Structure 1
Amino acid sequence: MDVNGVFSFLGVLKEAFKLIPKNGKLIALVALLSVLLSMITYVALDFSILGLSQAMLSTAKSYVPRPSSFNASDPSSSTPSRLNDEFDFMREILALTFAVEIAFMFILLLIFFFTTISTILIAAVSYTGNTLSTKDLFSRVARTWTKPFLTSVYVSIHSLGFLPILVIFAAPVFIYPNIVTILITSILAIAAFLFYLYLVVIWVLAIVVSVTEEGCYGMVAMGKASELVKGQRLKGYMLTLFFILLNLIIAVVYLKISGNKIPSDSIVCGLLFEILAPLVSIYQTVAYTVLYFHCKRQHGEEAEIDIGVANYTLLPTTYPVN
């Protein structure tokens, strides 16, 4: 295996890091909006869940029998109808809690979606050596969001279709738990994981393609991404693996510190995580945008980028190399 090829993703990370300051004010604005909106959403969710939990707790306390309830002559003792009303109320609270969590999850997905589109546009424009105003950025996002949205729907369908494969691979271990099935399942799991990394590269590049290339979205964008990644698979593999491990480390550290019995430490850790997570996501998006241009260069293609200021900026096959 080519060692230089294995570590070629480091060049993408370095180039992405250097690319961010070229339109630093816009990146900072997007990052600030993403962090603030995410924090506001998380705080609102915490207060909503806390309020619902307190309502459920007070209902549960009212269910505890009072001493007088053991006196059959006491008219205020618990009756089946009263208990049914309390259980119905608790079921309503549980359903409302679930609905609130789904609603806030949808809001967070919207924040992530528009942050991703904005970051791809800024990174693509920066790669061509152009600048973009705030007005042009939001105008371009408003005109472009439908394409990456449709592509995201196709990506979600394909990613959900990958779950049955994992279930099929895991089934033999539960049916025939022995050394042979565990070994075979482990080999298949590794192969499935490598294939999943390849699919993730295609899926993410498809989003980038749908933002940067006019009239390319959905299955067309996924097909284009599949063609572009040829010759850059190892770089895409390693880049995806790097960000998977990075996000896993951040999540593990967050869970470990948030489990601390000191409330102040948990609050500080939560705030740091809510700040760090969007920043890592933005850097990851910039890195995949750089990978997209590397793939274009590999195929000797020109890139047409609608930057919202002029009609198009043609990027020649001679790309800036840092």
Structure 2
Amino acid sequence: MAFSYQPTKPLTMFKILQEAFKLPTRNSNLFLPLLLLSFVVSSLLFTFNHLSVDPIIADLTSKSISITSLDPKSPLYPSIQSSILKDIKELVGIEAIIIIVSFIVSSLISISIIQALFLTLSNNSSNIHDLFHRLHGRIKGPIITKLYIKLLSLGCLFLLMIVLGVLIFIGHRSMIVIALCMILVILGLRLYLYLILVWSVSVVMSVVEDNCYGLEAISKAGEIIKGRRWQGVKLVMIEVFILSLIYAGYNALKTSVSNSMVSQLSIGFVLVSVSVLTSVFEWAISLVFYYNCKRSKEEDGGFMYATVPQETNDYEGAIP
């Protein structure tokens, strides 16, 4: 693949946000059907989760409350206890399936969005058929990268919980230990923001670069962002802030409406639609930031990012 090189100064954080917001709007023929497809698939998954999990949780909560008021010697106690255990097993089984399916679906949506953004950079006249053609044979690598990221994130969380648990166990109610735990949490959050940056860039690299995925992509992502780490972390902080507002608004709406199935599903569909739009913006930020880092690393030319063109023929590139 090749792009015409247009020398530009490295983009500021504000310019990256501006370019990321502008990029999806350059090709509505591609993004409108992609957004619709992403919304339908995500809504179906959300509906399945709501209809299959919520009744079990409600039943489990009701039985847990009722068993607390029973005498353990009561003849009803063993039957309710057995029913609770059955609900827990069923809930764990369904949640396991939902987690696996959600990972696959979210990965496919993310890969499709990044490819669509990449095609828009290359050729603003690309359509959904070009996207499907581009995706053919280019899905396994990014999914492997996201699987590594998922395992690494769980490992980091598990390690942090172990360290905090050991400190709390050793120095129970000690002010020094509490202070150390707070410092550790702050440092852990800073590190995690940096890791989110590396991981998002590695997913972008897995999608747009050939034969670069898994630990190799994560390692290269860490190398390419050197010199622009703080800018990237600030972008991640903005993304986290936006997501926090979205979920805070969702929880507020969820508690303010009735508990009827229609109302809860309606609020959920609003969350799904906003989440899909937000994910496009987030991946656009990662893609623009990635090429901005490439711009800094490859000063002699090559595959670099320039600002989103105002005309469709400003990019001269070819997609193999």
What are the Cα deviations for residues 247-272 of structure 1, in whole angstroms up to 9, with x where unaligned? Answer: 11211221122122634665543331
Counterpart of 2:27 in 1: which secondary structure? Answer: helix
Give distance in 2, aligned partners of 1:185 and 1:87: 38
Change (3 A) 1:110 1:258: same
After TM superposition, give the deviation of residue 205 of structure 1 in Å.
0.7
What's the counterpart of residue 235 of structure 2? 239
Q: 1:187 aligns with which of 183, 186, 192?
A: 183
1:19-168 matches, cutoff 5 A = 19-49=23-53, 91-163=85-157, 164-168=159-163
Q: 2:269 aligns with which of 271, 280, 285?
A: 271
Give distance in 2, aligned partners of 1:289 and 1:216: 15
Change (3 A) 1:44 1:193: closer
Structure 2 stretches of 5 or more lacking a match?
1-10, 68-73, 310-320
Change (3 A) 1:242 1:54: closer
What's the counterpart of residue 14 of structure 1? 18
The 8 Å contact of residues 296 and 302 in structure 1, kept in 2 or not, is answered as no
Give distance in 2, aligned partners of 1:258 and 1:10: 33
The 8 Å contact of residues 117 and 211 in structure 1, kept in 2 or not, is answered as yes
The 8 Å contact of residues 257 and 269 in structure 1, kept in 2 or not, is answered as yes
Identity rate, percent? 24
After TM superposition, give the deviation of residue 48 of structure 1 in Å.
2.5
Q: 1:296 aligns with which of 288, 294, 297?
A: 294
User: Which amino acid is 2:102 matched to?
Assistant: L
After TM superposition, give the deviation of residue 18 of structure 1 in Å.
0.8
Give distance in 1, aligned partners of 2:118 and 2:245: 29
After TM superposition, give the deviation of residue 288 of structure 1 in Å.
0.6
After TM superposition, give the deviation of residue 281 of structure 1 in Å.
1.4
Change (3 A) 1:302 1:139: farther
Counterpart of 1:320 in 2: which secondary structure? Answer: coil
The 8 Å contact of residues 154 and 218 in structure 1, kept in 2 or not, is answered as yes
Structure-2-length-normalised TM-score: 0.78
What's the counterpart of residue 172 of structure 1? 167
What's the counterpart of residue 278 of structure 2? 280
What are the Cα deviations for residues 106-160 of structure 1, in whole angstroms up to 9, with x where unaligned? Answer: 2222221111101111112222345423223113223111001111122122212
Change (3 A) 1:273 1:139: same
What's the counterpart of residue 213 of structure 1? 209
User: Which amino acid is 1:109 matched to?
Assistant: F
What are the Cα deviations for residues 284-319 of structure 1, in whole angstroms up to 9, with x where unaligned? Answer: 11111111111110101699xxxxxxxxxxx64472
The 8 Å contact of residues 292 and 304 in structure 2, kept in 1 or not, is answered as no
Counterpart of 2:116 in 1: which secondary structure? Answer: helix
Please tell me whether Structure 1 or Structure 2 has the larger radius of gyration of its CA atoms.
Answer: 1
Aligned residue pairs total 290
After TM superposition, give the deviation of residue 236 of structure 1 in Å.
0.8
Give distance in 2, aligned partners of 1:86 and 1:190: 44
Give distance in 2, aligned partners of 1:254 and 1:207: 28
Give distance in 1, aligned partners of 2:32 and 2:143: 24
The 8 Å contact of residues 34 and 128 in structure 2, kept in 1 or not, is answered as no
The 8 Å contact of residues 204 and 288 in structure 1, kept in 2 or not, is answered as yes
User: Which amino acid is 1:205 matched to?
Assistant: V
Q: 1:200 aligns with which of 196, 199, 202?
A: 196
The 10-residue stretch of structure 1 (116-125 or 258-267) with the greater mean CA deviation from structure 2: 258-267
After TM superposition, give the deviation of residue 173 of structure 1 in Å.
4.3
Structure 1 stretches of 5 or more lacking a match?
1-6, 64-78, 304-314
